[in-house]
Every structure is written in C-alpha cells, then in structure tokens.
Amino acid sequence: MNLIDVKSPADLKGLSISELTDLTAQARQALMTKVSEHGGHFGPPMGAAEMIMALHYVFNSPVDKIVYDVSHQSYVHKMVTGRALAFLDHDHYDDVTGYTDPTESDHDFFNIGHTSTSISLASGLATARNLKGDSENIIAIIGDGSLSGGEAFEGLDYAATLNSNMIIIVNDNDQSIAENHGGLYGGLRELRESNGESSNNIFKALGLDYRFVADGNDLETLIHVFKDVKDIDHPIVLHIVTQKGKGYAIAEQNKEAFHWTMPFNLETGKPEHVDNGPSYAGVIADYLMEQIKADPTVVAINAGTPGGFCFVSDWRKEAGKQYVDVGIAEEHAVAMSSGIAKNGGKPVFNVYSTFLQRTYDQLVQDLCVNNNSAVIINHMASVYGMNDVTHLGFFDIPMLTSIPNLVYLAPTNKEELLAMTAYAVHQNEHPVAIRVPVGEFVSTGVADMTDYSVLNKSEVTRRGEGIALLGLGNFYHPANQVADELAKEGINATVVNPKFASGIDEDLLEELKENHSVVFTLEDGVVEGGWGQRVASFYGPSAMRVKNYGIAKEFHDRYDASELLRENGVSVEQITADAKRMLQ
Amino acid sequence: MNLIDVKSPADLKGLSISELTDLTAQARQALMTKVSEHGGHFGPPMGAAEMIMALHYVFNSPVDKIVYDVSHQSYVHKMVTGRALAFLDHDHYDDVTGYTDPTESDHDFFNIGHTSTSISLASGLATARNLKGDSENIIAIIGDGSLSGGEAFEGLDYAATLNSNMIIIVNDNDQSIAENHGGLYGGLRELRESNGESSNNIFKALGLDYRFVADGNDLETLIHVFKDVKDIDHPIVLHIVTQKGKGYAIAEQNKEAFHWTMPFNLETGKPEHVDNGPSYAGVIADYLMEQIKADPTVVAINAGTPGGFCFVSDWRKEAGKQYVDVGIAEEHAVAMSSGIAKNGGKPVFNVYSTFLQRTYDQLVQDLCVNNNSAVIINHMASVYGMNDVTHLGFFDIPMLTSIPNLVYLAPTNKEELLAMTAYAVHQNEHPVAIRVPVGEFVSTGVADMTDYSVLNKSEVTRRGEGIALLGLGNFYHPANQVADELAKEGINATVVNPKFASGIDEDLLEELKENHSVVFTLEDGVVEGGWGQRVASFYGPSAMRVKNYGIAKEFHDRYDASELLRENGVSVEQITADAKRMLQ
C-alpha cells in the first residue's frame, strides 16, 4: 500500500505486519525528504514512527483518543489520518502545521506546543468520558524530556487516581532537546538497564501500573503490547524505549542538532544555509562567558533549550558548573534563580518568551515579592519571533509589566543590550528582565554608557515638536522611520527610546506637553495591557492626544509578521498617514 | 528556661532534652493561646513544633539556612529566633506576619506563602553556596500536601543532581488542607506503613538518598537524626511523620477545620464568631450542586482548598464523582478542565485569585489557544481579599485580560453572579472566568436576564451627562456612590456597569462622546495593565478626558484596604472631588 492512499487509520487495519513495515518505511522516507527540504522537527517523529503506526493499527482513532506531548512527534500521525499529501508533495508542505491541530483533523484533540501537558489534557478527556459513561481508550504520549516539567508530574499524580482506562506512553529516547538533566533520569536509566525491573520506579511510586517495552521501534512488539492494554480498566504507564532520529544515521548520532532542523542536505546532514552573522543571542552568550570567567558566582541557567541561546556543547563545557540546565522546568529555574541571588550568586536565566509564561507565579512570588536580583534574558519576545500559535512570544509586556519590583528593559541595539545586561548582572537591587531585540542586528559601534540604575528614564533621541513618537525596544526603529517620513513633509517629530518597558518616564511625558499635542506609542506586542496604554492613561486627564500601536489581543498561527502588523495598522506608511491626519 | 528569654537559637544549644521539651511545651501553649485569640494557621505549626525546635538545636541558623514551604508552620521558628514576644503578648501579636519574612529576621530567607516552592528556593541557596565555595547546611522543609505541586517535583528533580549538601525534610502529616489527593499519597502511605521500607519510593526513584523517621514529634529522635545528617555531603530526604495539630486533641481530630482558623474557644474548639449570612461562595456552591444534580457532566474542581468555596464535607459527599480535588496542582486543574470541556463535560474550576497565577501558561496554552469552554470561578480577586503580601489577589485583571479568547466577567451582585455562572456553565463557545465579588453581599432580588453571549456589552444603569463613571465589578458600587455625591451638587453623572473585564464596549464608549467630556474608570485592582487603561487607550486620540482609578503596581503586606485605596486616590470623596474639578 502506498502512503498517499492512506486516507484514515481504517486503511491500516487489514494490513499485514510486512505491509505495515513497508508503510512505516515510506513514512520515514517522507519525513526525511520533507524536513530536509522544509525544516521542522526531525528526531522526535523519526523515533516515534513505529509507535504511532502501531497505535493507529490497534486503536480506533478518533473514538479512541491519542494526545501527544509537544506534538512535534505527531507527523506520522498526520500522515495516516488523511494528511499524507502534506508530507509527500512539496507544494502541500504547508497545508499542515508542525503540531496537532483540531482544525486540521478530528484525530487531533488539542493545539499543543509547550511540553509536559499531554497527561493532564488526556486525563481531562478521560474524566469527561467517565462522567458521560463512555468507554473509549484515552492515550497520552509523553517524551522522557518532557517528564521533568511539573505539569507532567501533576498529571501523573492525578491520572493514578483514575479508576478507569488511561494509557500513558512514556516515549523514552534518553534525550531531551539537549541531554537530559534531573534525578529522574537516573531512575529511567536504571529501568532501561534492568528491563523495567529496577525498584526505583517513579511510576509505581505514584501508584501507576507499569509495563516496560525495550524495543519501541519494533512494530510487532508494539502491536502486541497495545493489543494487550487496549480497553484496560485502570491507568497504566507503558515505558517504551525508542531511538531518537531512528533511521537516519547522522541524526541518531547527533540527537541535539537533529531535534529540530532548518533545511539540510540529506547526504551530508549539513544545513543548506549557514548564517554566520552576528546575533543578539551570540552577544549575550559571549558576554556571559566573559563574566563567568571573571566571577565564579555568575551562573548561566536555561531550561532545556540551550541551542537557541548559543550555549553550544563547547560553550557548556567551558562554563563548567557555572552553566546549569535544569531540564524542562522553567518554574524551578526562576525560583532557584531567586535563591541563588539571595545567597550572593549572579543567576542569569535565559528563556524563550513563550516558555517564560510558565513562570508567572514564580516571577511574582518566588522572585519579585522577595525582590532578589536575578536576571532573566527573554528571547523571541516579538511579533517577529516564533509564529506557531503555540509558541507566540508577544504577550510578555502585559504579563511582565504588571508585576511589582520587576524591571523590564527593552534594548534597541547590541550596545544597549550589552549595557543593560551588564547593569542587570552587576546590580543587587531588583529582579531585572531583558527583552532581547528580534530582527535585523543593529550595532551603533558606540558603547552605551547609560546608568540604568536610574529607573524609567527614557532617552529623547530626536527633538522636535507637535508629535512625539515613543518606540519601545524593537519598535524604536520604525518610530525613527516614521519620523524620517514626516520630516519629508516638513514635520519635525520628536523620537523617544523609552528603554524601560516596566514603567514610564513621567517627567519626560510631562515635559512633552509643552510643545506636543500628539503622542504615538509603538510596541512590538499585544497592545491591550501593554506599555503604550500606560502612556495613554497618564495623558488621560490632559488634552494630549495619544494613539497606541501594537497588535490586538488575538491568537495567530503561522502568520506573516509584516502582514499582521499592517492588519493592525502598524506600518511606517499607516502610522505616518495617521500622524499627518492627527496633526492637521 | 522561659520562652520569652530565648533571643536566638544560640540560647537553645546548652539545654538538656528535658529543658528543650519544656520549651516546646511552652511554644505549643503559646500557639494555642495566640491562634485561639487571634486566628491563624494552627495545625501546621502545632505538628511541626518538635521538628523546628530540634532543627534549631542541632543546626546553626542563620549560617545554616532553613527554608519553609508555605511557611505557615514557621511560628515556632519565629519564637526561637527572637520573636517570642509576638506569640506571648497579645499587644505584640501583629508584630510578626503569618509567614517567614526576611525583613523580620536574618533567620528568614524568603517571603513565602504559596506552596511547593521551598525545594527550588533552597536549591538556589545551595547552588550559590557551591559557587562561592561555602559549606553551610541548606535545609528545605515541605509538607506532604505541598508535594503534589509541580514546582516541588521540579525542585526535587534538580536537588537530586546537586552533588553537595542539601537536606529535604518531608513533613508528612498525611493531610493537605483537606484530605490528600493523588497517586503520590498511596506511595507515602506505603512508606509510613513499612517504616520506610516500601520499594515504591518516589524519592529514591528520583535518585535521592532517603531516611524514614517514624516519630516526628519526638525531640530526642529528631535531634539524633539531624545530628546524623548535619554536614552530609549529598542531598537527602528525611521523611518525617508528624501529627497535624499535635497537642490539641480537637485539632488532631479535625485536621481540616484547624488547618487555619479564626479565633476560637480553646475549651470547646468552637469559633468565637460564626457568620451565617449569605456569601458569594455559598451562592456558587449551591448553584453548582443544583447543576450537578441536573447534569452528570458538570464537575466542580478545586486544587486543595475546598473550604473557602463552601465545598464542605457533606457537599463533597453529595457531589460524588462530580467533585474533583486535584490536590495542590492548579496547573493540572486548568489543563484537565480544558480536556473535560473538549470531551463534552462541563468543568468548573474554583480557585483563589492568588493561586490562579500559577496557571498563566495553562490558561494560555492548554485552555485558551484551544478555546475550550471550561469555567473558572476566581475568588478573592480584590483589594478586599487576602492581604498578606504572598496572597494578594489583585493582579488578576492585567494577568487574565491580555489572554485572547478568555471571557472574564465581573459581576456586581448575587443575581449577576448567578446569571454569569449559568451562562458560563451552559455555553460551548469560550473559556469563561468569573471574578466573584468580594465585600458586602449585595442582592437586588431581581433575576438578571442579560444575555452574556453578546460579548463586551456594558449596561448603562444611570443616564446623565458630562461625566460617565465606569465601575467594574466590586467598584460599581463606589461609582454609584460618587454619582450620588455628584447629584447633591447638581451633577447628573452617567453610571456604567461594564460587566466584562476582558473587553470594552466600543459602541457605548463611542456614544458617550456625544454628551460627556470626562470618563472615570474604577477597578478593584492594579491599574497598570488593567481594564481602565483600555478605556484610556480607546479615547486616547479623542478629546475625551479619562482618569483611571485603581491601585498602583506595588506589593503591600497586611494593609488596610480602605487606607490603601485612599493612598491611591480611590475613595468616594477623592473621586467626587476630582470629578468636580475636571468638570469645571
């Protein structure tokens, strides 16, 4: 049978093992071709190919419900649930997202992109099934890497109390994005090495039934096990050992590089395009290494995603114990950072904006109530960041700037990024977060000598009159462009680099009243609850007219950033036109 | 030795066991007297009295560092670290907070009030100690109830990788606030029943050394164990069994009622004052019970704090499997609720605003990206809610209203609360959160027939001109009072009940422009990033003058609500005066 002809899992049911094996080989070939041409997650779906094929062979999706964790391993699931074309025909590659998506298929139950959620989500499906008196199988899949997230533990703890069917597949490839970190992984290793017999079994300790499956890339074994547990009347953990990147030797050897990849050459495994230009993440990583060498109490922390921060293998080795990967455990990372700062260390937690969301309460309680001087480097907080609906990074300003004590800085170029980071690392007064610029790399070549200990002090970089353009962080540049456009019309706009997202410069705002009647705020994120609305509130009782630019509060999936901004009225042309109109 | 003479832990060092026993008895007597007169946490500090006394006898605080979880068990710690007067002299009861507080004493390392944080915070202290090359003992205490929170698991998982001293005390009294829930607790029971020998040992499964202590209320045993592990060179879990409420028979028998208590009669254990009046929580509980009886798919969920929601023992029994306590696992509660809604159930998660903070990412990712129709009943989201700095509930509007798809409703009285809850439970369109009113119980006696499926529709309850007062939720009432005051001066203000915190009624705001020049917004929470600033932003480009009332972004501890509001210019007199001035 050809993969392209599989329209639904029903088409698999009558196949022989050898036919199914052949189909799995086709699926794996499709993965290699598509991801090497298009980019995407590679190691996870390659390793899970047999597991997913066997699940759909044995279970009856979508009546039986499979929930994937992160769902970056679900590509083969998509192939056998009517979406094979999107993996076989490059004109259709973008027909599907990189994650499960209920709008694509009834076989997908949730949009999922953050880790450690599958057990909780699936236990919700199971709880509803029980309330309704239904009897379908509920299956949650979770990787070993995702198990370090607290939400996964909470889910396991609850699932164990379900006196009913629930099948939790721990897909153990002994690898997170990078190597695993945490005591948990010693226990999993013991289980692998003892064929599941070790007494140090976290699943049994939580009261869960447990079964070990050594060869999770063997279809027959998997089918046998799944048939055995189908319609089981209580929760069980199937601990299934798979090989990440299985079937592509270079990925099997280079698990971290092939977790997610840009387009690459299938022969050599080398990326098609290498960008050796400077990056903001690189600037931070270089600075941190310098500080690590100068001060034994500086410690660079991350939660399972070192690659994006240029914490590559050699860097990690050089940093030694001054580099800490806590595993996928952002909450712990923030609380621990608070503790490190309290005891005289200099913690610098690097994190993606979308994952920092998981730490809201730790930021408030563990860090900011205690006002400890930990540093958070927030990457990809921008409309120009990751554009999957599950990885959006542009809610950070409303989230972070309503938390007392937290200083949130928004640099506009390399020199400000460096100066702000240096300030943050060396001060002992406040928790400080830094919104790493996203987009074109800008360097002025002139060191930034600003004293950032003077909070909420903005910089007027261009003095005009009539209209003031306040461009926060990344959006300082378009503010300047608008000013350039207005200058062509004889309008001499004031431009301000606010620098602080967590507060407003009330003295400056007051001063602007003297010879300005219009103030525009521009910010690279959601406008509701954002920075600009504080400016609008400040000027509310006055005659100043204020317009806040940013994007409206909405989820977007795989959007084009410029288009999205234009839809929200945020382009240089639109803002320029608004300015001319309002100044008339 | 008299407790009042203990000025620091050094004073304990030379005591005999019998003297220490006597001191512990004095501490327990002080707890009973103070809490019965003043109110506070009772079961936790009573059960931990010997443990804390023994810790300070053996270890050298504050060089050795003890971190308490929730820190509601730390009262005896406060007594022996120079703060005994606050427990012995009722004129000084309020000299200390109910939690650890670094501003009170060098023996306190963090302000802590949320659960499950101690291991992460302490592992931060340990990490910094290691970086600095110091060698003090780091001790984290955590209760069995708090272990169900994901942050505790993340902390354990990391602590296991510390190749250095760390002592984690699991204070196991077999009770959360209410009974424990989760598979974890079967494992802990097995450990208790097997004297620590059961092979189902979650701590060992995480790679931690482990030691069981059966009698955690015996000073000699504890001192012996603590001396044994002092200066240990690796992380160890001491699983210590204690009795919650130990020493006061009525509390030993009624663990839930005596976890935290209002002033009570020591003879009878009965509360000094019983409020039998109607409450908003009672209205919700009654409504839910009605719905539970009518529809088997309605399920009332909470995360370990049923009492405050009137989910008392009988109520729970009556609700049967339609009541779910997930343990202290708010993240799981939200994700599971999303799953329940997805599979056709009607989940209603009751939670305190301060603890809902822990679910920011689950709200965004698990719930709102998926737009499932789960219901969140948010209690104590108000300046008038809990006033400990660790339990503030007034950050909810900025937090919740920048999340797309989430409908956040702000009722002003019983009838609106009921109508909004009914709408939320019976619709299938959106995740809906409801901000339960706090303060005086208001009932109009007239059923609210509003169709809440028409989003962001506000109600004009008083039509005037010149000035419009938009009073969100709890602050609808002061808005009316301001209007009454203004009426005395011949000013006929418009009053609006916005009803929706998650959006603004743009049509109405537009309409107000016709015959109003001033708009005031009043909200019961932090003004920065709040609801009123959306109104200011809407009117920004226009001539309308807007003033946003609420409190400034700051932490406050044990504040007086009216005073705090007055300091922020939010009293009927101040607002009335502002209105008159701005209308001149």
Q: Is residue A110 part of a domain?
A: yes
Q: Which of A257, A288, A315 is the last residue of a domain?
A: A257
- Whether the CB of A399 is below 8 Å from some CB of chain B: the reply is yes
pLDDT at B377: 98
Q: Choose among B360, B114, B369, B353: nearest CA to A358.
A: B360
Buried b / exposed e along B132-148 (16+ C-beta atoms within 10 A):
eeeebbbbbbbbbbbbb
B287 in the same domain as B249:
no
Q: What is the ipTM of this complex?
A: 0.98
B123 in the same domain as B71:
yes
What CATH number did the domain enclosing B505 receive? Answer: 3.40.50.920
A414 has a pLDDT exceeding 90: yes
pLDDT at B176: 87
Mean pLDDT, residues A104-132 taken together: 98
Q: Is residue A539 part of a domain?
A: yes
Determine, for residues B555 and A405 on separate chains, whether the beta-carbon distance falls below 8 Å. yes
B77 has a pLDDT exceeding 90: yes
The secondary structure element, H or E, covering residue B557 is: none
Q: Is residue A452 part of a domain?
A: no
CB B500, CB B455: distance < 8 Å: yes
**Of the partner residues A187, A207, A345, the one whose CB lies closest to the CB of residue B207:** A187
Instruction: Find the domain containing B213 and state its range.
Output: 3-257
B53 in the same domain as B106:
yes
In whole angstroms, what is the distance from residue B347 CA to residue B299 CA?
5
CB B52, CB B29: distance < 8 Å: no
Domain count, chain A: 3
Share of chain A above pLDDT 70, in %: 100
Determine, for residues A125 and B342 on separate chains, whether the beta-carbon distance falls below 8 Å. yes
Q: Is residue A446 part of a domain?
A: no
Buried b / exposed e along B524-542 (16+ C-beta atoms within 10 A):
bbbbbbbbbbbbbbbbbbe
CB within 8 Å of B138: residues ≥ 6 apart: B64, B65, B67, B122, B123, B125, B126, B129, B165, B166, B167
Q: Is residue A478 part of a domain?
A: yes
Alpha-helix runs per DSSP H in A173-264: 184-193, 202-205, 219-229, 249-253
CB within 8 Å of B184: residues ≥ 6 apart: A157, A160, A205, A206, A207, B147, B148, B202, B327
CB within 8 Å of B132: residues ≥ 6 apart: A296, A297, A343, A344, A345
In whole angstroms, what is the distance from residue B497 CA to residue B460 CA?
6
B197 in the same domain as B132:
yes
Determine, for residues A332 and B158 on separate chains, whether the beta-carbon distance falls below 8 Å. yes
Q: Is residue A273 part of a domain?
A: no
In whole angstroms, what is the distance from residue B108 CA to residue B66 CA?
8
In whole angstroms, what is the distance from residue B382 CA to residue B367 CA?
24
A43 phi, psi to nearest 5 deg: -55, -45
* Full DSSP string of B2-69: -GGG--SGGGGTT--HHHHHHHHHHHHHHHHHHHHHH-EE-HHHHHTHHHHHHHHHHS-TTTSEEEES
In whole angstroms, what is the distance from residue A147 CA to residue A288 CA?
29
pLDDT at B238: 98
Determine, for residues A124 and B340 on separate chains, whether the beta-carbon distance falls below 8 Å. yes
**Of the partner residues A181, A331, A345, the one whose CB lies closest to the CB of residue B128:** A345
Q: Choose among A103, A119, A34: nearest CA to B371.
A: A103
In whole angstroms, what is the distance from residue A359 CA to residue A376 CA?
11
Determine, for residues B343 and A129 on separate chains, whether the beta-carbon distance falls below 8 Å. yes
A541 phi, psi to nearest 5 deg: -75, -5
pLDDT at A248: 95
Buried b / exposed e along A323-360 (16+ C-beta atoms within 10 A):
bbbbbbbbbbbbbbbbbbbbbebbbbbbbbbbbbbbbb
Q: How far apart are the first and last CA of chain B?
A: 70
Share of chain B above pLDDT 70, in %: 100
Determine, for residues B358 and A361 on separate chains, whether the beta-carbon distance falls below 8 Å. yes
Residues constituting chain A: 584
Q: Is residue B569 classed as helix, strand or coil in its secondary structure?
A: coil
Q: Best residue in B104, B114, B151 to probe A by mutation, most A CBs within 10 Å?
A: B151
CB B490, CB B519: distance < 8 Å: no
A310 in the same domain as A252:
no
CA A372 to chain centre: 25
Determine, for residues B336 and A158 on separate chains, whether the beta-carbon distance falls below 8 Å. yes
A163 in the same domain as A128:
yes
pLDDT at A146: 97
pLDDT at B280: 98
The chain B residue lying nearest A297, using CA atoms, is B131
Mean pLDDT, residues A541-549 taken together: 98
B89 has a pLDDT exceeding 90: yes
Residues constituting chain B: 584
CA B336 to chain centre: 20
pLDDT at B424: 98
A149 in the same domain as A32:
yes
A134 in the same domain as A81:
yes
Across chain A, mean pLDDT equals: 97
Please report which confidence band the pLDDT of residue B88 belongs to, taking 50, 70 and 90 as the band edges: very high
Q: Is residue A280 classed as helix, strand or coil in its secondary structure?
A: helix
- Whether the CB of B509 is below 8 Å from some CB of chain A: the reply is no
Please report which confidence band the pLDDT of residue B178 belongs to, taking 50, 70 and 90 as the band edges: confident
pLDDT at B499: 98
Model confidence over A283-319: pLDDT tens digits?
Answer: 999 999 999 999 999 999 999 999 999 999 999 999 9
* Full DSSP string of B102-170: TTT-TT------SSS-HHHHHHHHHHHHHHHT----EEEEEETGGGGSHHHHHHHHHHTT--S-EEEEE
- Residue A211 bridge partners (DSSP): A238
pLDDT at B584: 87
**Of the partner residues A148, A182, A540, the one whose CB lies closest to the CB of residue B547:** A540
Model confidence over A188-224: pLDDT tens digits?
Answer: 999 999 999 999 999 999 999 999 999 999 999 999 9
Contacts of B361 in chain A (CB under 8 A): 114, 355, 357-360
CB within 8 Å of B181: residues ≥ 6 apart: A158, A161, B148, B304, B325, B326, B327
Mean pLDDT, residues B71-91 taken together: 97
Dihedral of alpha carbons A565, A566, A567, A568, sign: positive
A368 in the same domain as A333:
yes
**Residue with token string 């196991």:** B172
B306 has a pLDDT exceeding 90: yes
B493 has a pLDDT exceeding 90: yes
Q: Choose among B546, B548, B511: nearest CA to B529.
A: B548
Instruction: List the structure tokens of B496.
Output: 């609006």
B84 has a pLDDT exceeding 90: yes
A276 has a pLDDT exceeding 90: no
A145 in the same domain as A24:
yes
Q: Which of B435, B468, B489 is the last residue of a domain?
A: B435
Instruction: List the structure tokens of B312.
Output: 């008392």
Please report which confidence band the pLDDT of residue B202 belongs to, taking 50, 70 and 90 as the band edges: very high
A374 in the same domain as A303:
yes
pLDDT at B500: 98
Give the number of C-alpha atoms closer than 13 A to the C-alpha of residue B436, restricted to the C-beta side. 24
> Taking a contact as any Cβ pair under 8 Å apart, which residues of chain B between 316 and 335 contact chain A?
321-322, 324, 326-327, 329, 331-332, 335
B274 has a pLDDT exceeding 90: no
Q: Which of A257, A292, A325 is the last residue of a domain?
A: A257
Sheet containing A407-409: which strands, arranged edge to edge? Answer: A323-325, A298-302, A346-352, A375-379, A432-435, A407-409
A415 has a pLDDT exceeding 90: yes
Determine, for residues A370 and B111 on separate chains, whether the beta-carbon distance falls below 8 Å. yes
CB A263, CB A274: distance < 8 Å: no
Dihedral of alpha carbons A399, A421, B118, B163, sign: positive
Mean pLDDT, residues A558-580 taken together: 98
What CATH number did the domain enclosing A7 receive? Answer: 3.40.50.970
B276 has a pLDDT exceeding 90: no
**Of the partner residues B132, B342, B390, the one whose CB lies closest to the CB of residue A344:** B132
Mean pLDDT, residues B287-293 taken together: 98
A275 has a pLDDT exceeding 90: no
CB B105, CB B61: distance < 8 Å: no
pLDDT at A274: 85
Q: Is the pTM of this model over 0.90?
A: yes
Q: Is residue A264 part of a domain?
A: no
CB A291, CB A298: distance < 8 Å: yes
pLDDT at A423: 98
Q: Is residue A268 part of a domain?
A: no
Please state, as a whole number, how many other Cβ atoms lie within 10 Å of the Cβ of residue B192. Answer: 17
Q: Choose among B219, B192, B248: nearest CA to B35.
A: B248
- Whether the CB of B404 is below 8 Å from some CB of chain A: the reply is yes
Q: Is residue A273 classed as helix, strand or coil in its secondary structure?
A: coil
Determine, for residues B158 and A357 on separate chains, whether the beta-carbon distance falls below 8 Å. no
Smallest Cα distance from A446 to chain B, Å: 34
Q: Best residue in A537, A545, A546 to probe B by mutation, most B CBs within 10 Å?
A: A537
Please report which confidence band the pLDDT of residue B177 belongs to, taking 50, 70 and 90 as the band edges: confident
Model confidence over B433-464: pLDDT tens digits?
Answer: 999 999 999 999 999 999 999 999 999 999 99
B513 in the same domain as B417:
no
- Whether the CB of B189 is below 8 Å from some CB of chain A: the reply is no
Across chain B, mean pLDDT equals: 97
Determine, for residues A369 and B206 on separate chains, whether the beta-carbon distance falls below 8 Å. no
Model confidence over B126-160: pLDDT tens digits?
Answer: 999 999 999 999 999 999 999 999 999 999 999 99
Sheet containing B545-551: which strands, arranged edge to edge? Answer: B459-462, B494-497, B466-471, B516-526, B545-551
- In the DSSP assignment, the letter for residue B389 is G
pLDDT at A425: 98
